[in-house]
Amino acid sequence: MEIPTQSSDLQQQINSWKSNVDNARQEMREMRGRLEQMAHRKTDTDMLIHVEHFQNQFICQMEVADELFHDLKQSAKKLMNNGILAIVHDDRPVDDVGTLHDRMETFQKLYGELRHEFEQFAK
């Protein structure tokens, strides 16, 4: 994916990423609901092991999504205020769009794998 260089293009890209992350967060809430329903219906040991695995994965992935969404929001705000991205947030540097791009690609890859794994399990 090519990284935009114009301020308005960057803003549009960041908004698109925010939308993608927000959609993923909503899907994870729905998957957690489905997981809870399955856990109430079946209580064999093997099933409970999978339930715990997915609960942990959803917690971790949701935390990453929340952090990424926050950083994207902050980047969009900073970009609107002065047109320059120069933010460092703890151990999650957001000092350029390239970094955001890499984080977004990693998030999408890992979330896609989790969603696929859960769909296979839920069949």
Give pLDDT < 70 ranges for the chain.
Answer: 1-7, 82-96
Give 96-110 as a DSSP string.
SHHHHHHHHHHHHHH
> Is residue 104 a part of any domain in this protein?
yes
Residue 111 covered by a domain: yes
pTM as predicted: 0.80
Task: Judge whether 59 lies within some domain.
Answer: yes
Pinpoint the alpha helices (H) of 42-88: 45-82
Cβ neighbours of 85 (radius 10 Å): 20
At residue 99, the pLDDT reads: 84
Note whether residue 2 is domain-resident.
no
**Structural domains counted in the chain:** 1
**Which of 121, 66, 123, 55 is CA-nearest to residue 92?**
66
Q: How far is CA 85 from CA 19, 31, 66, in A?
A: 19, 34, 20
Q: Residue 30's pLDDT is what?
A: 97
**Residue 17, domain member (yes or no):** yes
pLDDT on residue 88: 46
Structure tokens at 98: 């390239």
Q: Is residue 62 part of a domain?
A: yes
CA distance 63 to 59: 6
Residue 69 sits in which domain range? 7-122
Predicted local confidence at residue 87, as pLDDT = 46
- In a domain, residue 1? The reply is no
